[in-house]
Structure formats: structure tokens, C-alpha cells
Structure 1
Amino acid sequence: MTNSRQSLRIAVAQTTATADIRHNGGTVRRLMRDAASERARLVQFPEGFLSGYAKEQIQDWGDVDWPAVRDELEQTAVLAAELGIWVVLGSAHPLTPPHRPHNSLYVISDEGKVVDRYDKRFCSHTEITSFYSPGFDPVVFEVDGFRFGCAICIEINFPDLFSQYRELGVDCLLLSAYPVDEVFEAKARAHASINTYWVAMALPSQTAHLMNSGVIGPDGRYLAQLDGGEGVVYADLNRPDFDMWFEKARPWRDSAMHGQIYRSQRVDDPRSTDRTCL
């Protein structure tokens, strides 16, 4: 790792998603202030939170007040600059009609600028046929020497996406979701450990009966997790605590995948090539 900073505090929200965009925007800014007061440098929100998530809060995009979405996003950006905090905010992103919106995560810097936007690449059957247009690119950005990647919900079922982010050198993957089963949590913990990076999960309070928002370490164990309800959970991404994972496990696994350490030990032995022998 080449990062100079050793620790970074992030905040992960668990909030009740609604179809009321103004209410959602007010909640975002209230929790941004809470996060800033706790010295967090970044706060993450669930999938589709600002606009409402299709199939749940939204049944028809024609019902969405898109000017309100834009206005709330602009207010959020202004406050991010005032507080000096990064924001990763889930929302639908409208395209030019008749194209369907993207299911997105806006990346807002501590200068109040939308510096990037992650558009969900792998959508469910219902999403891709009725609600969303897919994205195609990974998003990686840096805060104080820590590299972050973005993913959304059902993408947890595509391991290549998570390994791609490892290859891009992320320290922490921001996974915003609206999960539908308990096994989602097991998959997130496995991806964290296999790829040796932190995974931060921002989930709506509607799914707290399945699991809660939290931050998983590169060892697959929770650093911090909410205990139901609504609120914000904080975690310090402390690199020395996981020195073995970042400095030894990840480089060794990358070397193992390349394969030369095994090819160099290959033997020329008939008892090896004959797989039917006893």
C-alpha cells in the first residue's frame, strides 16, 4: 500500500426510505451533521435513498418530482462543503426521456462537488426490464489517501466485480443495498475477507430484520454494526490494525493468482500425471 494516512473515520447510515423526497433530503442533511460532529470524513447512505427505491417506494417514475431530487442533491452538496465531509448518496439518476433512470450512488466531495457517480451495472430482471438503465463502469475515488469503490445491492452476487475492485487497489468498498434475504450478509463478509478490504454496508431500516448497516473488516468480521432501528454507525479504518491483511495476505494472494510460484514448483513425475494410479 502507498497511502500515507493510517486511519480514517467513516459513517454508515441506516434510515427509513420514503417516497417523500423532501423528507429524505432532510434526513440526509441531519445525519451529515451528526457524522461531521463525530469527525467522520465520509458518510454513506442506502440504495435509492434520496429519490426512493423502485419496486418499494416508487412504482412509476412519472410520480417522481425530479426537480425536487435535483434541488435536494444541490442542498446536500452545499452542506458537504460547509461541513467538510464526503457523501455517498443513493438515488435514481434521471436520463433523457424516454430512457429509464440509472440506479446510482452520487459521490460528493468535501468541496461540495459531485465528482463522480456510480451507476449500478448488474440489475435484477425486474429492474432491467421495467425500471432502470444499466451502468458499465467501476468507480474509484480517494479520500485522505484511502481508496474507495462503489457497488449496489444485487451486485453482491457477482464475485468478478469485487475482485475487479481489489485489482483497482481499493481499501474499502461502499456497498449500498436494499437486501431481501439474510444470506446477503454472509456474502458481504466473504467478499471482504477474500478480497482483503473493508466493506461498508448502508441499508434501509426496513430491512433491519434481516441485517443492519455496518462496517466489515478485511478479516470478514464486523468493526461496527447498528443494533436495529435508525441511526449512523461509525468505524475507524485503521490500517495498522490490519497490516497482515493488506501487507501480506493481499500481495500473496495476487501472486498466487498469477501462478508463477506454483509453476516454478511443477514436477515431472508419472505419478503426478497419471491421476488414476494408486
Structure 2
Amino acid sequence: MKSSKIPLKKLNNFDEAADTILKMIAKLADVNTVFIAKNDRTTNEIVKVRNEDTELLHTGEQTPFDQTFCNLSINHGNCVLLIEDINKNETTKDLEVTKNLGSGSFIGIPINYENGDNYGTICGLDTTSVKFSDDHVELFETASSLLSYVLELDAAHKEITNLSVPLVPITEGIGILPIIGTLNEDRLRGLSEVVLSRSQELMLDYLVIDLSGVDTVDEITIQSLSQLADMLNLLGITPLITGIRSEVAIQTTNMPSLFRDIKTTLNLESALQYIGFRLEKN
């Protein structure tokens, strides 16, 4: 195996971790193709791949799960499966993928969630015979453990994001999204993903976005909120912006595109009146 120093960088999610880990393995393992596959026990999909000399796989490629080396890896258990000659191995010699490759070697290990459920596999593939060593085993075991850990971090982050985006349904077809505190690009990106998903789940017709808890904005914030409104419109959900504070209004005077095609109202009461509700005192 090669010896190489891999620069460390901040990894924000599973996607970035997968790219970095595949890059590391490609430098160290002397295997033509390293990849991460995800499966639903019916279809195996290549979600990340790095090919060196020969393009053996490409991202997005899908194969019947029972005809893949990944299936064998998962059935092998939570340890590395090593196949140095796919034509001589009893479990691989008759597979369609073996016939397509002609010859080669395979190494793989499952990627599991903390509760034991399987996500997929991380594997290495070559059309030449590779003499696998203990270093190969350790490398793929470490990669699997790291990716499993990142999967759990991703899941925890999504739960926290869901809790920090209090989209509240107030009646059938109508929801309110009160936004409080500082908005930055990362928060807005996570907010948009959750809002779009929750709005569809709740089958909303209108979403009132209340900005009364936001005291400062910048151009990126405005663009992101406008993009969120555009995406809601595409889903058939009418967005209404309410509660824009005077300080925010002053900050946005040089942004003529601000909510150009979006209805804005003074407060929540006027937003509900626009929709067709009338609030009465007892």
C-alpha cells in the first residue's frame, strides 16, 4: 500500500466525509476503483465513486442488489470481505458482474447505522488481481466506522434542525413559520429543506413566514428567503411574509428585488385576513 499524508479539513456532512474518505483510500489502497453504494435490498446504487485508470463504475449506476458484490459483503457480516480472484471464488464466479468485468479483485465492508440497520457498503474493485493485506483490512474497517459515525451525526443534526424550525399548522392548509434570531447561509439552507418537506407533509396551501423576531438581514439572507418563497410557489403553496421590522425594512431599501412577487403584510392578523380569516373578540 502507498504511504501518503492526507490533509485534514472540516467535514460538514456525510457527503463531504464520503468524498474525503474515498480520496484517502484511493491514495493508499492501490485499487483502481473505490466506491460507496446504498441499497434498499432490491437495488444497489453507486452514490460515490473514484476511478483511477479505468472507469469501472459511475455515480448513479443501479444494479439488482442480489447480483452485486455488495450483497455478498453485507451477507458476510460486519467485517471485511476479501476476494482476490472473482473468477475462482465460488460466490462470485457465476455473477453477471463478474462476467462483465472479466477478471479482478474485490474488497468491501458494510456501512451500518448505530442501531444495526444497514446503509450500504464501502468497497474497492479492480480488474487485476490484488494481493490484499492486513493494512487493506484496517483501512476499510476504519473507513466504515468513520462513515457510520458521520451518518449518526447527520441524523442528529437533522433532528436538531427540525426542532429549530417550528413550522406550526394553525388550521387545515395554513401554517406559520416564526423565524427568530440570526440568519446565516447554513441555517437558511437547513431551514429551507425542512420547511419544504414539512409544508408538503402538512398539505399546506399557505405558509405565513413571520420575520418579527429577525432584527438584521443581509443580501444573502434576502436571496435565500426569496428562493424559499419561489420553491413554495412551485409546490403550489402561497407564501406570505409578515412582521418585517422597521430596522430590517431600512436595511433592504437598496435591494429592489426584495420579495418582488411575494405578498407582505404588517402582522400575523393582517396575513390571516388576507387569506380570508377574520379575528373577532369575544
> TM bucket by the smaller chain?
under 0.3
Q: Tell me the TM-score normalized by structure 1.
A: 0.28
Structure index of larger Rg: 2
